[in-house]
Amino acid sequence: MPILKSTSSNQGVGAQIPNIRTTYLSTSVTLILGLGCNLISGVLSARMLAPAGRGALAVITYYPSLISSILPLGIPLATSLHMCSGRRSADQAASTGFWLTAILGVIGSAAAVLFVPFLLPADKLQLRFAVQLVCGLSIAMVLSPVLYAIERSRHMFHWVNGLQLLTTVSYIAALGIMWWTHSASALVIGIILQVIQWGLVVLHVWRLGKNSFLTRIDLSYCRVLFVHGLRFFGPAGAALIYILADRAILIRNAGFVENGLYAVAFSAAYPLSLLAEAFAQLGFIEVAASRDPADLIVHRMCALKIVIIVAALGAICVVSPLIRFAFGNAFAGAIVPTYILLGVMAMRAHSRALESMLRGADRAWPGIVSNTVSFGIVVIGASGGFITGAQSLALNLVVAEAFAFAILVAASSSILRISPIRLLGMPMSFISDLPRQLSVSWSELTSQLAHAK
C-alpha cells in the first residue's frame, strides 16, 4: 500500500528529477566545497576575534539563527510538497509560500528587536544593541529557506548549488578584507552575514521571475498551506529547537571563552552532519513523488552511510592538527569536545536524512517524538547542573542524540514495514553495484559539463 497518495490530478513539477545521479553528485560536491569554504571562514573569524571575541560572535548570531530556523513554521517544506505533488499550480504554491513567510519574517524580526534584550543573561547585556541590530536585519534569513525550496522544486539544482557557494565565498572575501584592514569585530561580522543574505534574496527573486511572487493569492489556500506547514513544523521545529538548545544553554551557563571554544568545536564537527543535506533535500522531493518509497529510502540511507563512514574516519585524523595549527593554540581546549561532537554529528546526519524523507512521505510524527525526547535529555542535563562548558555539553549531546536516533529508527521501521536491520544495514548488492553507479554518475556529469562548454 502506498504511503503517500497525491490529492490532485495535477502533475507536480517534482514528479521526476532528471539526471538524478548527476544531481546527487553535483549537490554533494557543492556541499564539500562549501564545507571547505566554511572551514576557511571559521579559521579567519577565530584568528581575528580570539576565544572571547568568537564567543561574542556566537551570542550575536544565535538569535537571528533562532528566528530564521523557527519562523518559517514548515511553510518551505509544505510549499515544496505542494509544488512537487501537483496539489495546486506551482506558481500559486510558490507565491503563497513566499508571502506567508515574508509576513512571518517581519513579525518575528520586530518582536526579536523588542524582546531579545530581556532574554540576554546579565553578564552579556553589553551585546544588547548588537543583537537587536542583527535581529532587525534577519528577515532575509527567514525568506531564504522558502526561496531555496521553490527553486529545488523547479529542479534548479545547479543554480541552488551556485548560490550556496557564492554565499560562502562572499563571506570569506569580506573576512579577508577585515583581516587586511584590521577592522574585524563581532558586530561587523554579524552585520556582513545579514547583508550577504539580502544580496542572495535579490538574486533569488531575479532568477525565479515575477510569476513566482505575483500570482493571485487565494486566502483559503493560504490557510491550507499554513496548516500543512504547521504539520511539518512539528518535527522540523522539534529538531531545530533541539539543535539550537545547546548554544542557548551555553550562552546562559558559561562565559565568552567557553562559548568561543564550543563554537570552534561545533564548526569543526558540524560539516559531518551537512553531508546528509543532499540526501535530505533531494530525498524529500523523490519520496514526495513516489507511491512506494520504502526501497528508495533504504537505498539512499545505504549511500549516506558510506559517505559518513569515510568522512568520519578522515575527520578523526585531522581534528587535532586542524585546531592547533589553523585555529591556533588558544583554541586547544576545543579538541576533546570536537571528537565527541563527531559522534553526535554522524548520528544527526542519519537522523536528518531519514526525517526529511519521512516528511516527504507525509509522516511527521517520528521526528517530533525523537527530537522532543532528545531535547528533554539536554534540558535535564542543563537543569541538573551537568552542563558547565564545551566538553560537558558535548557529552550530554551524545546521550541525547543516541536516544533520538534509536526512536527514529524504530518508528521508521514500523512506518515503512521493514526491519531495523535492513534500514541500518549495508546490502551486499548495493556495495557490489556502487562502483558502477559512481562511474555512471561521473560520466553523466562530465558529459553535461562538456555540453555546457
Q: pLDDT tens digit string along 32-73?
A: 788 788 889 989 999 999 899 989 998 999 889 888 888 888
Q: Tell me the C-alpha distance between 124 and 420, whole Å.
A: 46
**Among 168, 160, 141, which residue's Cα sits nearest to residue 69?**
141
Q: pLDDT tens digit string along 210-248?
A: 777 877 777 888 888 888 888 877 666 666 666 667 778
Dihedral sign of CA atoms 153, 158, 164, 170 in order? negative
Q: pLDDT at position 28, please?
A: 74
Query: Amino acid identity of 198?
Result: W
Q: pLDDT tens digit string along 113-136?
A: 998 888 888 888 899 999 999 999
Q: Tell me the C-alpha distance between 101 and 139, whole Å.
A: 9
Q: What is the mean pLDDT of residues 288-316?
A: 82
Minimum mean pLDDT range among 47-56, 92-101, 153-162, 275-284:
275-284
Is the pLDDT at 174 greater than 90? The verdict is yes
Q: What angle do CA 241, 202, 37 make, to 5 degrees?
A: 60
What proportion of the chain, given as a percentage, has pLDDT over 70? Answer: 85
Query: Amino acid identity of 323?
Result: I
**Among 28, 326, 34, which residue's Cα sits nearest to residue 168?**
34
Q: Tell me the C-alpha distance between 40 and 327, whole Å.
A: 10
Q: Is 218 exposed, middle or buried (0-12, 13-18, 19+ CB in 10 A)?
A: middle
Give the H/E segment covering residue 394: helix 390-416
